[in-house]
Structure 1
Amino acid sequence: MPPPRTRGKALRHRLAELRGEDVPARALDARALAALAANPGCRRRAILDGAGVDKAALANALGSPSVFGQSQFAFTRGNAFEARVKADGGTELLRLAHERLDRSAEPPAAARVPDLSAPGPEGRRARTELALREAAEAAGAWTLLDHPMLALDVAGSPAFLEPDAVVVHPDGRWTLVEIKSFPMLDGAADPAKVGAAARQAAVYVLALEDVAARLAPDLAPGAAPPRVRHRVLLVCPKDFSNLPTASAVDVRKQRAVTARQLARLTRIQDIADALPEGTCFSPGLPPDRLAQAVESVPATYAPECLSACELAFHCRDRSLAAGAVTCLGRPVRAELGGLTTVEDVLAAARGEAGDPADPAVAALRRAAALRAEALAGTPGAPAAAREVAPCR
């Protein structure tokens, strides 16, 4: 077996071939990594993200342009709200962190806010780690890191990540801060948006844990080893105002899912090796060749992809054409077991296919019998309505 360095070099070369030799790699961010964790079974997204393919450009080249992304209005509103939260040296942000997560500590009357500026992402990453080391050794003080730069190993190369903020508590614990512009109404926010924020925060938590593991052995004697909280601080506008409020969100589940998905992503060599020779996802290729390359990698489409992936419209069209039950949502897909297409489901319901001992098949036949019985007692119901017909 080749040594790890040789294998890593070969993988990077293979991924460059898949992306296109002259096409620059698109850097992964926390939002993209969180989306990967939300759909861990999609080999198509795994290989495209691992190779650094620009999926928005790819979708345009395939004739299925993406509308995925944040509007300019929402982007501007979010920046204005974040600036308000961090005003005056982060006084309000630290107050919320003390109130929601650490009331037993002394109030953050005077917090340290180190300068994290440095040339390039590697320089900012080194400056962030130095600031975290200094904060760990400054026992009893609050520290606020504004837009620190972290890194996470993804498929053998670093993905640079920039969370909104990190708070270091007087006892040495680190809390990640996510600032979002969607409101909290009566103390609660939209569960779908909170879930998306939690998945994104879990990526940052993993990166912070890597930093803590590297710093712990080299801290000054007597310094408390850094610990990363699995409860992150989610800061949002309160009700319909622009005043900040916050909630502590436990991201342990999302962190575990993300860690498993990233471990799988580091083995994308297996996916790449299974692709036909000459496969390339460069948006500059002819559409028919590009479509053939994309279809050579299996996808796991679900309606949730529409809010998380630039290729969702392309994958949805292919899934609808194939009659895949995943178009109906993951819960339905999970209930149907080995029945993967609508035609398979209808055939099982009609008794034309399927193992009667299969719970999914038995449930479908029972449902079909109940439907026929109900329609049989409906005056004026056409005979055709009593048959199990495909969904339209």
Structure 2
Amino acid sequence: MPPPRTREKALRHRLAELRGPGTQPKALDARALAALAANPGCGRRAILDGAGVDKAALARALGAPSAFGQSQFALVRGNAFEAKVKADGGTELLRLAHERLDRSAEPPTGAQVPDLSAVGPSGRAARTALALREATASRGTWTLLDHPMLALDVAGSVAYLEPDAVIVHPDGSWTVVEIKSFPMLDGAADPAKVGAATRQAAVYVLALEEVAARLDPAPRVRHRILLVCPKDFSNLPTASAVDVRKQRAVTARQLARLTRVEDIADALPEGICFSPELPAEELTAAVEAVPATYAPECLSTCELAFHCRDRSRASGAVTSLGRPVRAELGGLTTVADVLAAARGEAGDPDDPAVAALRRAAALRAEALRTAAPEVAPCP
């Protein structure tokens, strides 16, 4: 077996070939990792994300561009709100952290805000780890890390993540901060948006735990994150402490199930490439060489969702109906198989899924007969 450095170098070369000549890798972020963890069986997304392929450009080249993402207006508004929250050395942000998470500690006066600048993501990750170590050692003071860089191993490749902020409490514990521009009305925000934010924060918590594990003694990474949003319809910040233990456990389990990137890459044909510059037919063949696991939830999380949806519908796969339906159908993998089983033309009658389909078909037929109006004979 080749030594680790040789294998790592060979993998980097292979992933560069998959991206195309001269193409810089697109960095993974926490939002992409949360989406990847939500669909760990999708080898297509795993290899594309692992290789750093720009999936939005790939989708446009395939003729199925994505239609989700933040608008420019939303980005500008979000950046302006974040700057307001962190103004004056993060005074307001630390006040909210003290109020929502750590009232027993001394109020955050004269907090430390270390400089985290360094060359490249790996350098910034090392500088962040050093700043966390120093802040943890100096107990009794508050420390705010503005846009730290964290490294997380995902399926054999390193993802560099940049949370909005990390707070080191006077007792040496660490808290992830998520700053969002959606409003918190009467102390509550849109559940769907809060759910997405907590899944994203859970990835940061996992990355922080890897940093903490390298320290002796290991500091405590808090599982209650600080979610900061505008209050009501104003631009004033308010915050809520959100428990992410469930999301953290699910994300850790799903990331652990991901097939390693090198295993997927080794199974691909030689010479395959996902460069958007390739002809459409060649690019389509390359994408189809990697199996995908499409579900309707992909439409809000993956740039290739429209392409995969079209292919799933064309093949009649039941995954296009949603994961809950797919789970109920057992070994029936296509819509044609489901309809044949419901009509009694195929399938094992002892299979619970087949029996349920036939019972449902019988009830539907009975309901249609009952609802059909009687037609009087012509005089």
Q: What TM-score range do you get, normalising by the shorter chain?
A: over 0.9
**Distance in 2 (alpha carbons) for counterparts of 1:202 and 1:37:** 11
Counting only pairs closer than 5 Å after superposition, residues 174-323 of structure 1 correspond to structure 2 as 174-216=174-216, 225-265=218-258, 267-323=260-316
**Distance in 1 (alpha carbons) for counterparts of 2:231 and 2:260:** 43
Counting only pairs closer than 5 Å after superposition, residues 1-392 of structure 1 correspond to structure 2 as 1-216=1-216, 225-265=218-258, 267-380=260-373
Question: Contact 1:50–1:265 (CA<8 Å) still a contact in 2?
Answer: no
Displacement after TM superposition at 1:266 (Å): 6.5
What do residues 62-105 of structure 1 show as CA deviations (whole Å, max 9, x unaligned)? 11112232100100110111112112221221122112211222
**Distance in 2 (alpha carbons) for counterparts of 1:245 and 1:355:** 58
Gaps of 5+ in 2: none
Q: Residue 289 of structure 2 aligns to which amino acid in structure 1?
A: S
Question: Contact 1:8–1:156 (CA<8 Å) still a contact in 2?
Answer: no
Change (3 A) 1:173 1:38: same
Question: Contact 1:299–1:315 (CA<8 Å) still a contact in 2?
Answer: yes
Question: Contact 1:348–1:361 (CA<8 Å) still a contact in 2?
Answer: yes
What do residues 27-53 of structure 1 show as CA deviations (whole Å, max 9, x unaligned)? 212221111112111110001111111
Displacement after TM superposition at 1:155 (Å): 4.6
Q: Residue 230 of structure 2 aligns to which amino acid in structure 1?
A: P
**Distance in 2 (alpha carbons) for counterparts of 1:381 and 1:22:** 72
Displacement after TM superposition at 1:2 (Å): 2.7
Q: Residue 12 of structure 2 aligns to which amino acid in structure 1?
A: R
Question: Contact 1:305–1:312 (CA<8 Å) still a contact in 2?
Answer: yes
**Distance in 2 (alpha carbons) for counterparts of 1:190 and 1:326:** 28
Once superposed, what is the RMSD of the aligned Cα atoms? Answer: 1.9
- Secondary structure of 1:248's aligned partner: strand
Question: Contact 1:78–1:180 (CA<8 Å) still a contact in 2?
Answer: yes
**Distance in 2 (alpha carbons) for counterparts of 1:68 and 1:330:** 21
Displacement after TM superposition at 1:5 (Å): 2.5
Structure 2-normalised TM-score? 0.93
Displacement after TM superposition at 1:264 (Å): 4.3
Question: Contact 2:144–2:165 (CA<8 Å) still a contact in 1?
Answer: yes
- Secondary structure of 2:159's aligned partner: strand
Question: Contact 1:154–1:266 (CA<8 Å) still a contact in 2?
Answer: no
Change (3 A) 1:157 1:300: closer
**Distance in 2 (alpha carbons) for counterparts of 1:187 and 1:40:** 34
Gaps of 5+ in 1: 218-224, 383-392
Displacement after TM superposition at 1:373 (Å): 0.9
**Distance in 2 (alpha carbons) for counterparts of 1:312 and 1:230:** 32
What do residues 300-358 of structure 1 show as CA deviations (whole Å, max 9, x unaligned)? 11111111111111111111111222222212212222222211111111111111122
Change (3 A) 1:238 1:381: farther
Question: Contact 2:35–2:302 (CA<8 Å) still a contact in 1?
Answer: yes
Displacement after TM superposition at 1:381 (Å): 8.2
**Distance in 2 (alpha carbons) for counterparts of 1:256 and 1:41:** 18
Question: Contact 2:156–2:262 (CA<8 Å) still a contact in 1?
Answer: no
**Distance in 2 (alpha carbons) for counterparts of 1:336 and 1:188:** 37
Q: Residue 63 of structure 1 aligns to which amino acid in structure 2?
A: G
**Distance in 2 (alpha carbons) for counterparts of 1:133 and 1:10:** 33
Correspondence for 1:220: none
Which has the higher mean CA deviation after the structures are superposed, 272-281 or 50-59?
272-281
Which has the higher mean CA deviation after the structures are superposed, 113-122 or 307-316?
113-122
Percent of aligned pairs with the same amino acid: 84
Question: Contact 2:41–2:258 (CA<8 Å) still a contact in 1?
Answer: no
**Distance in 2 (alpha carbons) for counterparts of 1:64 and 1:373:** 42
**Distance in 1 (alpha carbons) for counterparts of 2:80 and 2:268:** 46
**Distance in 1 (alpha carbons) for counterparts of 2:248 and 2:37:** 9
- Secondary structure of 1:284's aligned partner: coil
**Distance in 1 (alpha carbons) for counterparts of 2:234 and 2:352:** 51
Change (3 A) 1:227 1:364: same
**Distance in 1 (alpha carbons) for counterparts of 2:278 and 2:364:** 50
What do residues 226-271 of structure 1 show as CA deviations (whole Å, max 9, x unaligned)? 2111111111112222222222222223223333444444612222
Displacement after TM superposition at 1:61 (Å): 1.0
